[in-house]
Amino acid sequence: MHGLTHEDRARVAAAVTAAEGATAGEIVTIVTARSDAYRDVALAWSAFVAFLALAALELAPDFYIGLVDRMLGLWASEWTPRAVLGLALSVAILKFAAMLALMAWTPLRLLLTPKPVKAARVHARALTCFRIGAQSRTTGHTGILIYLSMAEHRAEIIADEAIAAKVSPEVWGDAMHAMLAHLREDRVAEGMVAAVERVGVVLAQHFPRADDDINELPDRLIEV
């Protein structure tokens, strides 16, 4: 999955173990192929294309009716209102179906999805994963999620309440930058390791490891 090998997964897990060796914080790493199917975006584009086709028919009805006559081999046929409405319905359905078929190709669907929509969906999925896998699952509420969504080329770092109370979200910018620098070169494991290392440094400063500290969350890379 995501081009990750067994060795890549082992490296990320080892980085988490090493980072947690100096902190009471618990780091959870998650990689996913994409955060949403964006089916609603595909439907919206299909409806838009169908609307454009109807608008074009309304703006130049004589041209399109003449085009249909020539394609069907008709000569100066009489178009009744019912026939015109039938043509408009047929055109809309064909355009909608054709665009929907094109949008079944995931790369095109992602390309035509606005960046703010992708950002919102990635954040929402990251929050869901955080609530399931890290939030309030440690004794001191010191869990933190590093989430990577491959198709959208976006990442999120979300911290539990004890960490968020001491560390502002802007502090994680260095970890994000380090991760994305590797991801741009398609080095997923290296990016995750770099992020884990920088997150670990921050956690060690604010939440040093106690002698009786135990590992409360899994160190392995989770793939969803």
75-123 pLDDT, tens digit per residue, is 666 777 787 788 788 889 999 999 999 999 999 999 999 999 999 999 9
Q: Helix or strand or coil: residue 144? A: strand
How does the average pLDDT of the chain come out, rounded? Answer: 89
* 35 DSSP assignment: S
Q: Hey, how many other C-beta atoms are within 10 angstroms of the C-beta on 62?
A: 8
Name every residue whose Cβ is closer than 8 Å to that of residue 6 and which is 6 or more positions away in sequence. none
pLDDT band at 214 (very low <50, low <70, confident <90, very high): confident
> Under a CB-based contact definition with an 8 Å cutoff, are residues 196 and 146 in contact?
yes
CA 18 to chain centre: 29
- Write down the pTM of the prediction: 0.84
- The radius of gyration of the chain from alpha carbons, rounded to an integer in Å, stands at 26
For 20-34, write each residue's pLDDT tens digit: 999 999 999 999 999
* Of 131, 151, 183, 145, residue with least CA distance to 38: 151
What's the pLDDT score for residue 90? 86
Q: Is 122 exposed, middle or buried (0-12, 13-18, 19+ CB in 10 A)?
A: buried
Q: With respect to CATH, is domain 6-36+113-223 assigned 3.10.310.50?
A: yes
Domain boundaries, the chain: 6-36+113-223, 39-108
What's the pLDDT score for residue 149? 95
